[in-house]
Amino acid sequence: MTAAASSAPPRADILLVPIALGDRSYDIHIGSGLLADPASWAGLPASADALIVSNTTVAPLYAEALAAPMRQRHRRVLQLALPDGEEHKTAAVLEQVYDTLLGAGCDRKTVLYALGGGVVGDMTGFAAACYMRGVPFVQVPTTLLAQVDSSVGGKTAINHPLGKNMIGAFYQPARVLCDLDLLATLPAREFSAGLAEVIKYGPIADVEFLAWIEANLDALMARDRAALAHAVKRSCEIKAWVVGQDEREGGLRAILNFGHTFGHAIETGLGYGAWLHGEAVGCGMVLAAELSARLGLVDAALVPRLQALCRRAGLPVTAPPLSALPIERWMALMRVDKKAEGGEIRFVVIDGLGRAAMRPAPDTLVADVIRAHAAPG
Amino acid sequence: MTAAASSAPPRADILLVPIALGDRSYDIHIGSGLLADPASWAGLPASADALIVSNTTVAPLYAEALAAPMRQRHRRVLQLALPDGEEHKTAAVLEQVYDTLLGAGCDRKTVLYALGGGVVGDMTGFAAACYMRGVPFVQVPTTLLAQVDSSVGGKTAINHPLGKNMIGAFYQPARVLCDLDLLATLPAREFSAGLAEVIKYGPIADVEFLAWIEANLDALMARDRAALAHAVKRSCEIKAWVVGQDEREGGLRAILNFGHTFGHAIETGLGYGAWLHGEAVGCGMVLAAELSARLGLVDAALVPRLQALCRRAGLPVTAPPLSALPIERWMALMRVDKKAEGGEIRFVVIDGLGRAAMRPAPDTLVADVIRAHAAPG
């Protein structure tokens, strides 16, 4: 980034994470007041037309704050608010984006802006990948989960009645703006769910970051901007490092699913919506740590350590009671998870603190782990 | 291609056109009896599941001939016949492909085979681009137009009520099998329409090929396999050379639209379906040659030369009467064509025989060209 096009030097408090992907490289900007900062926009395509895709919850809060600086760069700034929620991540709702673009006569240089959480980001990115065979898009994630999870990896998709994220594309944004001010209105439960994905990066890749989160969790929970900036930056850096070695999801990228095999079983077993994804991942990490310890791969002290951290972050650390989710149901759900091969369930385990690996585990051992952490009843 | 995996040396009568696109490189095989030739399949992914996407016209003729060798390579060979015709190139019909794949539990290694013309190829390619964010696909084009046009370029798409090919992706096949035997059942009118796109490559890029087509047109019209093989091969080679310099459609690729600006006006002006796309392109080339000559860019002898060739190929060489398509309507239709910039219509012209360029032209000159070639009435 050069300051040549700006009227002031770059702000020192804005962190940049460069994502190196050849001619699809882009930067993640992390900080406060990004939308009003000219440096956030420098170098992006200044097409005639632009479309802000948001949802009915976020648009009333932030669409105008995004539209104002965009009007300096685009002749027409269109807006579309999709219905809010995972159940609307469908082909029918995606069609609304195309209808809006074509109804307004938007050409193949139009820039799309995704203003919202993961659902808006996934749908807008997929629409950008397909509209006239590809137009640029910019991510402006408004949840902590989307800032640390959707900023890196280029995954876009919609759901199909027969499965989540079944129809999609790998498509990289032109830029990601993680404006921490946008997190101010995020409900506490969603904020905690986002923290689960931040915490995840410690045990799988960075012991020092785990210690830093422990030391700064109170500041994070208070949504201190400087603490948040570091947490988002370090999460994006680690994810970029993993994805950079495995862009199309061959092997290593699977370690990002630490806690997710157990977590998906909870989400699906209780019905989507009962637990937030991040909540299920929080509890899932505790179970995966326990499994790792019982396999002799990591010191058992990791289990209470993660429990304490997740509890402080407002995340559930006890699995649903067996009456609500019996062992056989857990097993069946984890077996259909895409990491199961030949009937044997493979887990992301901690193989020495700060390092993750994929390992199968005997059903009996897995069942013991679940029993040890299920709530009574 | 090595013969190591086959039980016999490669057949001498099968022509290969390698398409060099880095890790997305693939080969076009051109010849007779390709479906039954083991070399056609060597090196392709042998996944558990495969899906043949065809249409209700082609499937009864050739789906089994394709499915038989595929059963040697895939545990399950699913089949889906879409409704035939451009009007079915829609999001709703695309959804049938996803429903079939997910209903059968096909995983992310499933290989899709497109058995049909341009519509089937475009839809299957787009479905492959998006299913689980990308699965391999193989093109088996069954029309001459699809063999010379869809084999190279990686364009996939569906139509939207507000525009053709508006939703799509650039996505390369793993292989293209141009089996000339499949052209035996192609109606004469569609065969001629395909020849228009073959003839096109002469004036824009290869004077010798133009002379070769003139010398071999009778053999082509008789669907002689050797003549067809050369025509398809040379067309694919020239298109690959053009596209290779302009994969994402910046500039040079536009020369492939020789005859298309006039042609699209005929297609749209008379209503889609009245003239086949190739028929409109055939007549459009005559008009574009006339325009090139009047601009002083090429010898006027090209006009009767192209007229004679197109006439022999069974293509119309006279534009619709002005009563059916008045000059003002022509102009309006060509102005909305995507090559119009700032109100001035840009045409692909022949700039010295065997070379094409993009040029604007005065409206009065264009009108004169149309009047000179319109049928009376």
Q: Which residues lie closer than 8 Å to B229 by C-beta, 6 or more apart?
A: B13, B15, B30, B31, B32, B180
What is the SS3 assignment for A139-159?
Answer: EEECCHHHHHHCCCCCEEEEE
User: Is A260 known as a binding-site position?
Assistant: yes
Point out which residues pair with A333 in neighbouring strands.
Answer: none
Query: 3-state DSSP call for residue B231?
Result: helix
Same domain, yes or no: B206 and B168: no
In a domain, A6, yes or no: no
Q: Do A169 and B133 touch (CB under 8 A)?
A: yes
Phi-psi domain of A30 (left: phi exceeds 0; alpha: psi -120 through 50; beta: other): beta
In a domain, B199, yes or no: yes
Please tell me which residue of chain A has the smallest CA distance to B163. A102
- On whether any CB of chain B is under 8 Å from the CB of A283, the answer is no
Active site includes B279?
no
Integer angstrom CA distances of residue A175 from A111, A137, A347, B41? 11, 8, 33, 41
In a domain, A74, yes or no: yes
Minimum-distance CB partner of A169 among B95, B130, B160: B130
For B220-268, the pLDDT digits (tens) are: 999 999 999 999 999 999 999 998 887 666 678 889 999 999 999 999 8
In a domain, A169, yes or no: yes
Contact at 8 Å (CB) between B139 and B52?
no
Amino acid type, A186: L
In a domain, B129, yes or no: yes
Find tokens 């064509």 and name the residue: B337
Whether residue A4 is predicted with pLDDT greater than 50 in this model: the reply is no
Share of chain A above pLDDT 90, in %: 86
Q: Which residues lie closer than 8 Å to B110 by C-beta, 6 or more apart?
A: B47, B48, B49, B50, B51, B101, B131, B135
User: Where is the domain boundary, B133, B154, B185?
Assistant: B185
How many CB atoms are located within 10 Å of the residue B76 CB? 15
**Residue A133 DSSP symbol:** T
Contact at 8 Å (CB) between A199 and A239?
no
Which ranges of chain B would DSSP assign to H, the alpha helix?
59-70, 91-103, 118-130, 144-149, 188-205, 207-221, 225-244, 260-270, 277-294, 302-312, 327-336, 363-373
pLDDT at A249: 62
pLDDT at A70: 96
Please tell me which residue of chain A has the smallest CA distance to B154. A133
Minimum-distance CB partner of B166 among A91, A98, A169: A98
pLDDT at A247: 63
Point out which residues pair with B359 in neighbouring strands.
Answer: B347
Minimum-distance CB partner of A102 among B130, B155, B160: B160
Q: Do A160 and B98 touch (CB under 8 A)?
A: yes
In a domain, B6, yes or no: no
Please tell me which residue of chain B has the smallest CA distance to A94. B91
Residues in A touching B163 (Cβ below 8 Å):
102
Identify the CATH number of the domain in which residue B241 sits. 1.20.1090.10
Q: Which residues lie closer than 8 Å to B187 by C-beta, 6 or more apart?
A: none
Same domain, yes or no: B347 and B201: yes
Catalytic residue list of A: 133, 155, 197, 239, 249, 253, 257, 260, 264, 277
Mean pLDDT score, A20-41: 95
Residue to substitute from A158, A167, A243, interface B, most B β-carbons within 10 A: A167
Same domain, yes or no: B253 and B318: yes
Give the integer Cα–Cα distance in Å for B345 and B363: 8
Same domain, yes or no: B252 and B170: no
Tokens of A14: 């804005």
pLDDT at B355: 95
A289 CA: distance to closest CA in chain B (Å): 29
User: Where is the domain boundary, B154, B185, B216?
Assistant: B185
Residues in B touching A135 (Cβ below 8 Å):
none
For A303-321, the pLDDT digits (tens) are: 999 999 999 999 999 999 9
Whether residue A26 is predicted with pLDDT greater than 60 in this model: the reply is yes
User: Is A176 known as a binding-site position?
Assistant: no
Same domain, yes or no: B30 and B140: yes
Amino acid type, A120: V
The stretches in chain B having pLDDT less than 50 are 1-4, 339-340
pLDDT at A273: 78
Domain assignment of residue A25, given as a range: 15-185
Q: Do A166 and B102 touch (CB under 8 A)?
A: yes
Same domain, yes or no: B123 and B194: no
A107 CA: distance to closest CA in chain B (Å): 9
Whether residue A170 is predicted with pLDDT greater than 90 in this model: the reply is yes
Whether residue A178 is predicted with pLDDT greater than 70 in this model: the reply is yes
B133 CA: distance to closest CA in chain A (Å): 4
Residue to substitute from B107, B164, B167, B246, interface A, most A β-carbons within 10 A: B167
- On whether any CB of chain A is under 8 Å from the CB of B160, the answer is yes
Share of chain A above pLDDT 70, in %: 95
Same domain, yes or no: B235 and B345: yes
For A62-100, the pLDDT digits (tens) are: 999 999 999 999 999 999 999 999 999 999 999 999 999
pLDDT at A250: 60
Give the integer Cα–Cα distance in Å for B325 and B333: 10
Give the integer Cα–Cα distance in Å for A40 and A33: 10
pLDDT at A251: 75
Mean pLDDT score, A354-358: 95
Q: Do A103 and B129 touch (CB under 8 A)?
A: no
- On whether any CB of chain B is under 8 Å from the CB of A376, the answer is no
Mean pLDDT score, A265-272: 90
Amino acid type, B145: L
Residue A15 parent element (H or E): strand A15-19
Integer angstrom CA distances of residue A290 from A179, A204, A213, A257? 36, 14, 20, 16
Tokens of B103: 């209903």
User: Is A200 known as a binding-site position?
Assistant: no
Point out which residues pair with B113 in neighbouring strands.
Answer: B52, B138
Whether residue A3 is predicted with pLDDT greater than 60 in this model: the reply is no
B103 CA: distance to closest CA in chain A (Å): 7
For A118-163, the pLDDT digits (tens) are: 999 999 999 999 999 999 999 999 999 999 998 899 999 999 999 8
Total beta-carbon pairs less than 8 A apart between chain A and chain B = 58
A89 CA: distance to closest CA in chain B (Å): 15
Contact at 8 Å (CB) between A180 and A232?
yes
What sign for the dihedral angle of Cα B212, B214, B219, B221?
Answer: positive
**Residue B110 DSSP symbol:** P
Whether residue A341 is predicted with pLDDT greater than 60 in this model: the reply is no
Q: Do B134 and A102 touch (CB under 8 A)?
A: no
Same domain, yes or no: B243 and B303: yes
Same domain, yes or no: B219 and B92: no
Kindly give the interhelix angle for B91-103 and B118-130, rounded to the nearest 10 degrees.
Answer: 60
Please tell me which residue of chain A has the smallest CA distance to B162. A102
- Specify the higher pLDDT residue, A122 or A338: A122
**In what order do the strands lie in the sheet containing B175-179?**
B15-19, B26-31, B175-179, B137-141, B111-116, B49-55, B76-82
In a domain, A281, yes or no: yes
- A335 pLDDT tier (thresholds 50, 70, 90): confident
Same domain, yes or no: A92 and A150: yes
Identify the CATH number of the domain in which residue B48 sits. 3.40.50.1970
Domain count, chain A: 2
- A342 pLDDT tier (thresholds 50, 70, 90): low
User: Is A43 known as a binding-site position?
Assistant: no
User: Where is the domain boundary, A137, A158, A185?
Assistant: A185
A154 CA: distance to closest CA in chain B (Å): 10
**Residue A300 DSSP symbol:** T
Give the integer Cα–Cα distance in Å for A203 and A196: 12
Whether residue A275 is predicted with pLDDT greater than 60 in this model: the reply is yes
Same domain, yes or no: B102 and B156: yes
Spell out a b/e string for A32-55, using b for 16 or more CB atoms within 10 Å of the CB, else e: bebbebebbbeebeebebbbbbbb
pLDDT at A343: 59
How many CB atoms are located within 10 Å of the residue A72 CB? 10
Tokens of B20: 């060099």
Residue to substitute from A108, A126, A133, A338, interface B, most B β-carbons within 10 A: A133
The most distant pair of C-alpha atoms in chain B lies apart, rounded to whole Å, by 64
In a domain, A2, yes or no: no
Give the integer Cα–Cα distance in Å for B209 and B354: 9
Same domain, yes or no: B179 and B194: no
